[in-house]
Amino acid sequence: MTRVALREVTKVYDTGVRALDGVTLDLPEGRLTAVMGPSGSGKSTLMQCAAGLDTPTSGTVTIGGTEISHLSEAARTKLRRERIGFVFQSYNLLPSLDLRDNITLPLRLAGRTADPARLTRLAARVGLADRLGHRPAELSGGQQQRAAIIRALIADPDVVFADEPTGALDLRSAAEVLDLLRELVDELGQTVLMVTHDPNAAARADQALVMADGRVVDAIEAPTADRLARNLTLLSGA
């Protein structure tokens, strides 16, 4: 089943920049899809449109069977809270809240309560079971990112969007976060879209989409870091 589908999605900003130019793609369930491409190729815009954070100029976006372009802003916000998990490069944890409250915040904003058993299970899985009462500043970057990943998963979303999730981490913490994302896909059947500049990160994906000038110019199954690095060098004209 397709969790997210884009059909001929074009985004032209007010400045006249055509950031997306007729993008059609499907994010199949239970797969990790990476998006790569040179700076300015449209990766962030793609994620924003696919996640309902921004509206395309034309084309359609369907999330979990719901076509979102005709939804009101309030309805899109509700859909994002209920069906989408987000992971950002900068973790986006609130400093004044402990991990438990950070992780359950999106659910509480949606007027729901977290299942304590699910929270405990997820925290144990990522090695944070004894840290739930700690504030973000008391944790390493890798631990904060793992907490952010649980926050993304707590509502059992249709899809998780991860924007440069390893961008701020050292090699070892980055590897742990990538292992975790792989586990979510392989063991929980999660659907993940990850934007990354790092060919080694993208090589952990089932498929890598390569963007250039607002289009998906390549879709590589079981990508290797070497192949992706070569591909990007060619596109950057280096």
Ligand X SMILES: Nc1ncnc2c1ncn2[C@@H]1O[C@H](COP(=O)(O)OP(=O)(O)OP(=O)(O)O)[C@@H](O)[C@H]1O
Residues lying near ligand X in the complex (CB under 6 A) are found at 13, 15, 17, 19, 37, 39-45
Residue 67 CA to residue 71 CA, distance in Å, equals 8
In angstroms, give the least distance from the CB of 167 to ligand X: 10
Rg (CA), the chain: 17
Query: Which of residues 41 and 145 has its CB atom nearest to ligand X in the complex?
Result: 41
Q: Note whether 38 and 212 are within 8 A (CB).
A: yes
Tell me the sheet residues that pair with 35: 195, 209
Query: Which of residues 58 and 66 has its CB atom nearest to ligand X in the complex?
Result: 58
Q: Note whether 164 and 132 are within 8 A (CB).
A: no
Residue 183 CA to residue 217 CA, distance in Å, equals 28
Query: Which of residues 39 and 72 has its CB atom nearest to ligand X in the complex?
Result: 39
In angstroms, give the least distance from the CB of 143 to ligand X: 26
Residue 61 CA to residue 12 CA, distance in Å, equals 16
Query: Which of residues 43 and 131 has its CB atom nearest to ligand X in the complex?
Result: 43
In angstroms, give the least distance from the CB of 221 to ligand X: 22
In angstroms, give the least distance from the CB of 203 to ligand X: 18
Query: Which of residues 97 and 168 has its CB atom nearest to ligand X in the complex?
Result: 168
In angstroms, give the least distance from the CB of 214 to ligand X: 7
Closest C-alpha among 85, 53, 87 to residue 166: 87
